[in-house]
């Protein structure tokens, strides 16, 4: 099979580094260029040292669109739209955007929301895909089976803790090691930016859903992973809930409903999502977890690329967790 020729825009961050790691080892991909104006002329391994010995690629400031079949946009939030608007990208090039810029449905763009567990068929036919947010992915995996059955009838309470890589590669006051280590804190309670796309997806499945999603994001003192605990009132007993979730995810290649209370180490460094259920009185407790840089970003982006080009969904994503 002819290899998919790809270009990467904004290649210096954590998500770009993970994306390059996957694409270098993807059997059906050839990386044509990695664009970064601030790093142009430097070796990829000068920035992503974990790739030493795996690539001789060099960052470039050029944009040879005519040489690629697909573009991954790893730019900062707000910059992807600027890039698309300011460049004449040939219509035959498929685009996968990892920023927030196109996640909200709008008549002003034709990007499909790229959560395969929700929109697999649409992604297969799409020319442009908006990759979901990391918190949004984990929380949606916890809730969309209930929405699919019209069972979200009350407020939803979500607490989710994320690793420091979710804050990006540039150190800040709340991501620097000396602050983050041996520490925990919340931020943007009840007002996180991912709530918009979560609500959008829930209403896609359950149009009458109008209850609050009470989301408390937490900064964890670890590097990668997202661990979600969510609960809401639910009329199903535990066996009925498990049957609903297992049926909803029966064709999902990376999302698994597990019977034992899982640990986050089971998913770190993989493209998997694990979901676990408990019933406590009238409340259904859902635990969901993903690697924020993989299923929450770059791994899911490659999963979407595979779907868009008719490949097996799992191609290039056979990654083992780092449980030990």
234 is catalytic: no
3-state secondary structure of 220: coil
Specify whether the CB–CB gap between 45 and 81 falls below 8 A. Answer: no
Cα–Cα nearest to 58, from 90, 32, 78: 32
CA–CA dist 58, 63 (Å, integer): 13
In degrees and rounded to multiples of 5, residue 290 shows phi and psi of -145, 165
Tell me 206's DSSP state.
-
Residue of 70, 123, 134, 156 marked active site: 134
What is the token pair recorded at 158? 């979500």
What is the token pair recorded at 61? 């400031």
3-state secondary structure of 256: strand
Burial (0-12, 13-18, 19+ Cβ within 10 Å), 130: buried
Tell me 58's DSSP state.
B
Specify whether the backbone of 61 is left (phi greater than 0), alpha (psi in -120 to 50) or beta. alpha
CA–CA dist 270, 7 (Å, integer): 23
CA–CA dist 316, 294 (Å, integer): 12
Catalytic residues: 134
């Amino acid at each position: 099979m002819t290899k998919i020729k790809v270009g990467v825009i904004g290649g210096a961050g954590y998500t770009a580094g993970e994306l390059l790691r996957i694409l270098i080892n993807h059997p059906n991909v050839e990386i044509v260029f990695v664009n970064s104006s601030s790093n142009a002329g430097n070796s990829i391994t000068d920035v992503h040292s974990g790739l030493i010995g795996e690539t001789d690629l060099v960052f470039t400031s050029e944009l040879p669109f005519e040489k690629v079949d697909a573009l991954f946009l790893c730019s900062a939030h707000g910059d992807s739209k600027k890039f698309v608007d300011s460049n004449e990208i040939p219509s035959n090039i498929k685009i996968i955007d990892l920023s927030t810029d196109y996640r909200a449905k709008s008549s002003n763009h034709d990007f499909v929301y790229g959560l395969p567990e929700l929109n697999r068929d649409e992604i297969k036919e799409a020319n442009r895909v908006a990759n979901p947010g990391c918190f949004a992915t984990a929380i949606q995996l916890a809730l969309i089976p209930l929405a699919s059955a019209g069972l979200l009838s009350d407020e939803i309470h979500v607490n989710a803790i994320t690793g420091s890589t979710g804050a990006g590669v540039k150190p800040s006051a709340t991501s620097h090691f000396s602050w983050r280590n041996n520490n925990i804190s919340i931020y943007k309670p009840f007002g996180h930016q991912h709530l918009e796309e979560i609500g959008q997806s829930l209403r896609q499945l359950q149009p009458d859903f109008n209850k609050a999603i009470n989301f408390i994001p937490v900064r964890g003192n670890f590097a990668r992973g997202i661990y979600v605990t969510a609960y809401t009132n639910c009329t199903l007993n535990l066996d009925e809930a498990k049957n609903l979730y297992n049926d909803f995810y029966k064709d999902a290649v990376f999302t698994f409903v597990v019977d034992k209370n899982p640990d986050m180490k089971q998913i770190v460094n993989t493209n998997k999502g694990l979901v676990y259920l408990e019933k406590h009185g009238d409340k259904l407790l859902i635990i969901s977890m993903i690697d924020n840089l993989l299923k929450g970003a770059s791994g899911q982006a490659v999963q979407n690329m595979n779907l868009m080009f008719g490949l097996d969904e799992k191609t290039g994503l056979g990654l083992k967790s780092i449980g030990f």
